[in-house]
Homo-oligomer: A and B are copies of this chain.
Amino acid sequence: MALEHAILVSLLEQPGSGYELARRFDRSIGRFWTATHQQIYRVLRRMETDGWIAVEEVAQDSRPDKKVYSAAAPGRAALAGWLREPVEPETVRHELAVKIRAAAFDEPAALKSLISEVERHRESHAALLARYLTGERRDFPDRDPAASSPQQELQHVVLRGGIEYERMTLAWLDDVLATLHRIAN
């Protein structure tokens, strides 16, 4: 499990409330780790009990109070220990690929519906790529990598991974569409 660790990294980059973390997991961190607010609140409570994170209750005007969490020393130590453990290559779950192979066993009409679905996926990947590229121009305008801090460089290289993943996926979805059209005719 790495949700604890992803939360720790996020809190080290910037302390925040459970709600703020949930938003980050919807946006930037969600690129490589997803979590809903329910999961986040549950794990935050456990991490607080274990002393991995510190809480500060912050009263706000015209908004509900919030609990701002930050990484504590035992949390940093836990993260350091985890960093030294080997991780296994991720297990892949790609429903669309299952569907593409399933299409061979359905009526030809099913290809039409699959084509629409692949097109939908293509659009959503194109939109995500555009968002990544906008974020890259905003957060990493500097051409010279030596001018950035290690933290920025590491964030940037992870973002570049997201960008290349989306580019590859777009090209592959075009290949899939061409193949489906060829079969449909």
Contact = CB atoms under 8 A, between A and B. Distances in A.
Interface residues of A, number: 70
When all copies of this chain in the complex are counted, the total is 2
A76 interface: yes
A79 B94 contact: no
Nearest to A5: B98
Interface in A109-159: 110, 113-114, 117, 120-121, 124-125, 145-146, 150-151, 153-158
A161 interface: yes
Dominant secondary structure of chain A at its interface with chain B: helix
Interface of A: 2, 5-6, 8-9, 12-13, 30-34, 76, 79-80, 82-84, 86-87, 89-107, 110, 113-114, 117, 120-121, 124-125, 145-146, 150-151, 153-158, 160-161, 164-165, 167-168, 171-172, 175-176, 179, 182-183
